[in-house]
Amino acid sequence: MDVGVVVNPIAGMGGRVGLKGTDGKLEEARERGAQPRAPARARDALESLRRHAPDCTLYTAADTMGEEAARDAGFEPKVVTAAGDAATREESASTSDGAETTAEDTRAAVRAFLEAGVDLVLFVGGDGTAVDVAGVLEAVEGEHTGDENEHERTPMLGVPAGVKIYSSVFAVTPADAGRVAAEFERIEFREVNDIDEDAYREGEVRSELRAIVPVPVAPALQSSKQLASGSVDSLASGFAREIDSDRIYIFGPGSTVGAIESELEIEPSPLGIDIWHDGDVLARDAAEADILEVLADRDADVTVVVSPIGGQGFIFGRGNHQLSPAVLEQADDIQVVASETKLDGIDALHVDTDDATIDDELRGWIRVRTGRFTTRLIQVV
């Protein structure tokens, strides 16, 4: 089997520093101390691929766009493009030798993969990278028409590394992506969506369908993004009545958690992290560093309150990267809240924090608060 691997080395850098994305914000992310996360997630995916398909032939772009992760994972890849060669200069990321990489470099790598006849394009990034990959596939092989012959088209599969994961072309974790890439036998056509990051930073989700592409089918693939509805008033009221004023509460993003904040007379950050203690808001729309600074200055127990992303079931690792392993290590209590309607569309909850030890500690059965007095037992996997 031949697999083409391309890595967006800046994907996800804006998450922990509170930028909710990196598009147009790379320099600001760097100034805030953001560190790349995509290369490590690429290595994890490729190590999994090598375990499940050791004879796989790997094609990559050079340096941080795939080659380095492939070699770290034990592969001897065939390098098809040099990172930074593309003529188009958009917002870029430095490679190990100082060259700059852009979205056009991603597209050039995918075109080279298709010319080499790969069986799968495996990409590491977020929705923006998915759009770039899908654009090349559609330009070279045609748009989705529903014809049976389309199942001969080259599939794509995402390793989640971006802040925004609204497309249904991603595996649940990097390791799952490697396994799916090694073992898939059929494909389905799934959606590539992208959102307006500027609107997202203002708390508004504007999702746009950008492509429909072939994707390997396996249980580890997450379902398409769905926004479940349902009243959360009783849940928020019940939670607020039981608040412990001695505790520090870290409230995650989303409308369900926002309803709890409103009950506490907090103006919530719809897609950000807020910190509250005994009637005082200690930080709004906080980055990871802000959270750690607040916790270092106060001696109190810490509760993290989160709600799963509708349709996907992630409680950590999607849309709340500010709640990093370093933050979670400071918490002695995690409260998951969700309406019954939202949970009806979720078989299990997921975590993907970039720290295997933290993920293992979070896995198991957990009680999710669904109303004023009601809870539901659901497994974190």
C-alpha closest to that of 279 among 254, 252, 302, 245: 245
Q: Is there a domain that residue 221 lies in?
A: no
Residues 212 and 288 in one domain: no
| Domain end marker among 168, 187, 216 | 216
Residues 126 and 260 in one domain: no
Query: At residue 131, does pLDDT exceed 80?
Result: yes
**What is the arithmetic mean of pLDDT over 339-345?**
81
Q: Among the listed ranges 105-119, 167-181, 201-215, 345-359, which one has the minimum average pLDDT value?
A: 201-215
Between 163 and 318, whose confidence is greater?
Answer: 318
Query: At residue 227, does pLDDT exceed 50?
Result: no
Query: At residue 24, does pLDDT exceed 80?
Result: no
Q: Which domain holds residue 117?
A: 2-216
Query: At residue 153, does pLDDT exceed 80?
Result: yes
If pLDDT is split at 50, 70 and 90, which confidence band does 225 have? Answer: very low
**pLDDT at position 19, please?**
46
Between 379 and 29, whose confidence is greater?
Answer: 379
Sequence-distant (≥ 6) Cβ neighbours of residue 275 within 8 angstroms:
248, 249, 250, 251, 281, 282, 283, 286, 290, 291, 294
**pLDDT at position 127, please?**
87
Residues 208 and 297 in one domain: no
Q: What CATH number has the domain bearing residue 183?
A: 3.40.50.10330
Q: Which helix (H) or strand (E) holds 379?
A: strand 375-380
Residues 196 and 238 in one domain: no
**pLDDT at position 172, please?**
84
Q: Is there a domain that residue 281 lies in?
A: yes
Rounded to the nearest integer, the mean pLDDT of the chain is 83
Residues 193 and 239 in one domain: no
User: d(Cα 158, Cα 161) in Å, to the nearest integer?
Assistant: 9
User: d(Cα 269, Cα 271) in Å, to the nearest integer?
Assistant: 6
**pLDDT at position 167, please?**
81
**pLDDT at position 96, please?**
43
80 — phi, psi (to 5°)?
A: -100, -25
**pLDDT at position 338, please?**
92
Query: At residue 99, does pLDDT exceed 50?
Result: no
Q: Is there a domain that residue 224 lies in?
A: no
Query: At residue 226, does pLDDT exceed 50?
Result: no
Residues 302 and 364 in one domain: yes
Residues 202 and 310 in one domain: no
If pLDDT is split at 50, 70 and 90, which confidence band does 220 have? Answer: low
Q: Is there a domain that residue 226 lies in?
A: no
Structural domains counted in the chain: 2
Residues 193 and 243 in one domain: no
**What is the arithmetic mean of pLDDT over 361-365?**
92
**What is the arithmetic mean of pLDDT over 95-122?**
83
Residues 209 and 263 in one domain: no
**pLDDT at position 333, please?**
95
| Domain end marker among 216, 241, 271 | 216
Q: Is there a domain that residue 222 lies in?
A: no
Residues 255 and 212 in one domain: no
Q: Which helix (H) or strand (E) holds 283?
A: strand 280-283
For residue 67, what are the β-bridge partners? none
278 — phi, psi (to 5°)?
A: 50, 50
As to burial, measured by CB atoms within 10 angstroms (0-12 exposed, 13-18 middle, 19+ buried), residue 357 is: exposed
Between 89 and 162, whose confidence is greater?
Answer: 162
| Domain end marker among 161, 187, 216 | 216
Neighbours of 105 (CB within 10 A): 29
**What is the arithmetic mean of pLDDT over 57-62?**
96
If pLDDT is split at 50, 70 and 90, which confidence band does 132 have? Answer: very high
**pLDDT at position 248, please?**
97
Q: Is there a domain that residue 260 lies in?
A: yes
Residues 207 and 268 in one domain: no
**pLDDT at position 165, please?**
74
Q: Is there a domain that residue 199 lies in?
A: yes
Q: Is there a domain that residue 228 lies in?
A: no
Residues 211 and 257 in one domain: no
Give the pairing type, strands 248-251 and 302-306.
parallel
User: d(Cα 136, Cα 128) in Å, to the nearest integer?
Assistant: 13
